[in-house]
Structure 1
């Protein structure tokens, strides 16, 4: 299942909560973040959201950053000898992390997702592995989005139908391969130890909503991206942050204000609802524990 502007539109006019704090806030988690630049911006905004939601004990253990990385680049970091240092491996071996996050991109499945899962679960049976579904900035039509300029203004020519074609031919197959790998890990270790955070799915929906003029303050698709590589501007980054808060803690972000300061009226509510509903539609969302 995935969400389109038509399915989201009625939801956007529902009453917004005064704040997202739950009556009994969940216990904070110690999180080791790991990944590339479409992911490693998340720790700071997620920490702000967790604090706003009344979550005590949320902690960023560390952020292992490698630009444009695949998981094996983090696995091999520091060398492969017995005395070589790899900070993430050390955290997992010490059982310090409640959660390990990672980001990947094509191809999937990725052998080092399984390696990190096995190492973490070996030393801590309740560790959770959360995988960021990295978005591609382009569509299936390379001529439409040729990115001849740094801002990639050609992205604005992508139609709703082209974006749906991108979803069906690129995003859904990639997500299915990731989901199958993570489901296999759950079966292997006999626990629901993995979550798939479907950010790319939401990015496509967000672009479709921009096409239909449904995102306040975002007049065109290229406004979502900093450059031709597809790095996130604030609206996209905020949406991803809301989804990650929800995935980590099961907290509905609708009504949150901490990231909304200085943004156009109504924008945050649209992004929050999109993030929450897209996560809920993902079978491996981790919301059921």
Structure 2
């Protein structure tokens, strides 16, 4: 017995109906097109401005070095606003006559602005986003969250008298970071809904946790214990950690895999001898995996 649809429509009408369903099922909205385009590698040098603290301000130098090694010779770091332990709003609140970030953004000649908030709320992220878009509608804002200082989520946890970076597991690190990640992701999603898909996350802390797990498992060449990543209890990074974070930011800024790049100068400074090349590859792979896994990095698997 013929179905109701078959009895009602002649063959030509059926063909038109199928075609219409096919069109409606195909993603065509601007947002999805934009997301597809956002995964394309960038080969031309970008003009980057950075606002940050001691968990981020060394990233520009590493990215500049990586760009040279990748043959991106026209990369330009147009400026840096550095304030120790700063929230983004502190960079925003710098006096107008001294505010290099605002000055550069108003020229419309900044392609990427990188920010590194500590915890939320932080009105500086939205303030800079609005200003940046007023002068360059194509700018990207890349937000690099911190890995937890003292290995704790400070808004809800009292700072311990003693920190033992070696005593914590990867699972516990993820639990402690969970609320931090959740709030930061939600804020970026909210801002993207308001301003368009212009903000992205550089998942540095996720990559750091993955590296710490490799160290625990004895699978990080040249690194014996988690303390090998840090200069102090707070969590300032030594050269291997800085190289890892540099790779994460490079991958998000340029939408390119860092895997296969020569050893950067920062990692050379660690003097790891015959472990250097192996660790460099591991750092590249962990950085790239973290970027591909994060839904707000601008990249897709």
TM range (shorter): 0.7 to 0.9
Deviation of the 1:61 alpha carbon: 0.4
Q: What residue ranges of structure 1 are gaps of 5+ in the alignment?
A: 1-23
| Unmatched runs of 5 consecutive residues or more in structure 2 | 1-40
**Correspondence 1:159-170 to 2 at 5 A:** 160=169, 163-168=170-175, 170=176
- 2:280 alignment counterpart: 268
1:176 & 1:121 partners in 2: Cα distance? 25
Q: Deviations over 1:153-187 (max 9, x none)?
A: x22122x2xx312312x322212212222222222
Pairs aligned (count): 250
TM-score, scaled relative to structure 2: 0.77
How many Å apart are 1:32 and its aligned residue?
A: 0.3
Structure 1 runs of 4+ with >2 Å offset: 137-143, 145-148, 260-263
Q: Please tell me whether the aligned partners of residues 109 and 178 of structure 1 are also in contact (alpha carbons under 8 angstroms).
A: no
1:98-137 superposed matches below 5 A? 98-106=111-119, 108-137=120-149
Report 1 or 2 for greater relative contact order, CA contacts < 8 Å, sequence distance ≥ 6. 1
Could you tell me the TM-score, scaled by structure 1's length?
0.81
Q: Which moved more, 1:259-268 or 1:197-206?
A: 259-268
- C-alpha distance in structure 2 between counterparts of 1:139 and 1:208, whole Å: 14
1:36 is aligned to 53
Equivalent runs, 1:138-287 vs 2, <5 Å: 138-140=150-152, 146=160, 148=162, 154-158=164-168, 160=169, 163-168=170-175, 170-189=176-195, 191-259=196-264, 260-261=267-268, 262-263=271-272, 264=275, 265-287=277-299
How far the C-alpha of 1:85 sits from its partner, in A, is 3.5
Query: In structure 1, how many angstroms separate the alpha carbons of the residues matched to 2:151 and 2:88?
Result: 24
Larger radius of gyration: 2
Instruction: Tell me what 1:63 maps to.
Output: 80
- Normalized per residue, the structure richer in helix is 2
2:9 counterpart residue number: none
Q: CA RMSD in A?
A: 2.2
SS in structure 1 of the partner of residue 151 of structure 2: coil
